[in-house]
């Protein structure tokens, strides 16, 4: 067996592993689920929309307006300081819900354009990958608004966030799970894309305040990974317990991360820690180096909605 064929097989195995690890933690497939198509919010459903090709301008306006810094917890009553650093980005869901024109406009663009519907707009890998990242995030925002306000979109009593809600994207009805599969295929094994998906929870990566663009996509991926891995909900070292605590998607997609490392450096990593150290900010590596041999455990998934209004209210002293 040639080395090239061996690497292709490894990438295929990694693809299966990453797709298996994309499901939300703690969720099970419920039999007899009812699929629900989410369309425009409000009166836009009756307004014709002219689409001349793919354009993310409406998505860019929404992100600039409605993604802002926020807080995870109340400040300490004695010192007035936050126990953890502020989350870098939270979403103004109430404002988007009350003024949905930008979201509706971008969803209309996604419905009628895409690599299958308008291939002339997506001739490069970077163009296709940017499309799927932005589509996943926009559809996740729309799904979060389907039952807003809510403390969390991840509940046994609610529709399954990644499977039950459907959207019209690239001429087809798809759910978030199917969009992730399209994204992963376009990524060709680049696990950094997992850190771009902000799926309406504090335990997910923060939503970027701008669309992902083909021109600087891979620099943006690198920056997003480093930002996430500097946050305790993605990686933390507990020296007293001798634990390396990692985001659940890193652990459940370990084969994909190993394949990515091998593709970049030409050799298999000694451990998942080696991959994390290469992806993490340089200033974090000394601490990670001290975690060699530690037990790897999942950081508990914070299912709370990444809602600026709710989090800011909780952080404000009464």
Position with higher pLDDT, 316 vs 284: 284
User: How many of the other CB atoms lie within 10 Å of CB of 265?
Assistant: 12
Predicted TM-score (pTM) of this structure: 0.86
* Confidence check: pLDDT of 170 > 90: yes
CA distance 245 to 298: 6
User: How many of the other CB atoms lie within 10 Å of CB of 55?
Assistant: 14
* Residue 28 confidence class, pLDDT cut points 50, 70, 90: very low
Helix residue ranges, H only, the chain: 3-20, 57-66, 93-98, 101-112, 125-144, 176-187, 217-229, 248-252, 254-265, 272-279, 285-289, 308-315
CA dihedral 239, 243, 248, 253 (to 10 degrees): 120
CA dihedral 179, 146, 93, 176 (to 10 degrees): -10
Q: Give the total number of structural domains in the chain.
A: 1
- For residue range 73-126, list pLDDT tens digits in order: 455 566 655 555 556 689 999 999 999 999 999 999 999 999 999 999 999 999
Average pLDDT of the chain?
86
% of the chain exceeding 70 in pLDDT: 79
Q: What is the pLDDT of residue 42?
A: 87
Sheet-wide strand order for 165-169: 36-37, 165-169, 172-175
Domain range holding 267? 3-315
- What's the average model confidence in pLDDT over 302-317? 76
Crossing angle (nearest 10°) for helices 101-112 and 57-66: 150
Instruction: Give the 3-state DSSP-derived string for 150-178, with helices as H, strands as E and coil as C.
Output: CCECCCCCCCCCCCCEEEEECCEEEEHHH
E strand or H helix at 291: none
Across 29-38, 44-53, 189-198, the highest mean pLDDT is recorded for 189-198
């Amino acid at each position: 067996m040639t080395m090239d064929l061996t690497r292709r097989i490894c990438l295929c195995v990694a693809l299966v592993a990453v797709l298996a690890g994309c499901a939300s933690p703690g969720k099970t497939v419920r039999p007899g689920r009812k699929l629900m198509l989410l369309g425009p919010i409000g009166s836009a459903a009756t307004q014709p929309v002219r689409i001349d090709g793919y354009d993310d301008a409406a998505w860019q306006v929404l992100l600039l307006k409605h993604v802002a810094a926020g807080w995870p917890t109340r400040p300490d009553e004695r010192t007035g300081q936050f126990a953890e650093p502020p989350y870098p980005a939270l979403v103004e869901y109430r404002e988007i819900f009350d003024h949905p024109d930008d979201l509706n406009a971008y969803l209309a663009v996604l419905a009628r354009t895409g690599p299958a519907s308008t291939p002339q707009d997506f001739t490069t890998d970077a163009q296709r990958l940017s499309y799927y990242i932005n589509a996943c995030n926009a559809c996740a925002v729309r799904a979060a608004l389907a039952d807003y306000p809510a403390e969390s979109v991840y509940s046994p009593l609610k529709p399954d966030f990644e499977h039950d809600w459907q959207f019209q994207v690239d001429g087809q009805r798809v759910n978030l799970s199917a969009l992730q599969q399209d994204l992963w295929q376009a990524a060709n094994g680049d696990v950094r894309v997992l850190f771009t998906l902000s799926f309406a929870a504090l335990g997910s990566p923060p939503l970027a305040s701008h669309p992902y663009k083909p021109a600087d996509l891979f620099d943006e991926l690198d920056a997003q990974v480093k930002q996430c891995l500097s946050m305790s909900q993605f990686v933390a070292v507990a020296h007293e317990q001798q634990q390396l605590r990692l985001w659940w998607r890193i652990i459940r997609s370990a084969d994909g991360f190993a394949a990515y490392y091998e593709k970049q450096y030409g050799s298999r990593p000694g451990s998942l820690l080696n991959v994390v150290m290469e992806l993490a900010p340089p200033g974090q590596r000394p601490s990670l180096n001290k975690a060699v041999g530690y037990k790897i455990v999942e950081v508990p998934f914070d299912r709370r909605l990444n809602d600026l209004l709710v989090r800011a209210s909780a952080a404000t002293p009464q």
